[in-house]
Amino acid sequence: AILAQVISPIKGSRTTHIFAEGAMAFWDVPGVKAGVLTGDGAWNLYKFCKENSFAIPAFNCTSTSSINAVLEAGKKLNRPVTIQFSEGGAAFFAGKGLPNEKGKLQASILGAVCGAHYVRQVAPVYGIPVFVHSDHCAKKLLTSFDGM
């Protein structure tokens, strides 16, 4: 077995994991590639995470700068990441000065779509698997979700 000590985001905290030698790496999961994962590749990686008791972190992004920061961290650690867009965060991506009327959420929809397009274009260059997520779209926002 290989013993690995991982520094936790909690100051001074460390977690110890034991991995079996020769254990399959996430890169060996069928369909996993650098860039945005969809379909079977995404599903296979989620199943691999569950089987190996780890999660892929999700970060709510509001700009190209925050997206780039997440992708840079993922690249540095050679780990998959999730970039998510919330209703409010997506509105920031498009610009808070744009209309975002209740029931229409024009800026939120535009920001989420533009953010997702941006991630699709830059993620492969960072060389890591990336998920794009709608940040638990609330039931009251489902009509706006259709706009994406």
Which is catalytic among the residues 28, 40, 135, 146? Answer: 135
SS (H, E, C) the chain: CEEEEEECCCCCCEEEEEECCCCCCHHHCCCCCCEECCHHHHHHHHHHHHHCCCCCCEEECCCHHHHHHHHHHHHHHCCCEEEECCHHHHHHHHCCCCCCCCCCCHHHHHHHHHHHHHHHHHHHHHCCEEEEECCCCCHHHHHHHCCC
Residue 40 annotated as catalytic: no
Q: Which residues are catalytic?
A: 135
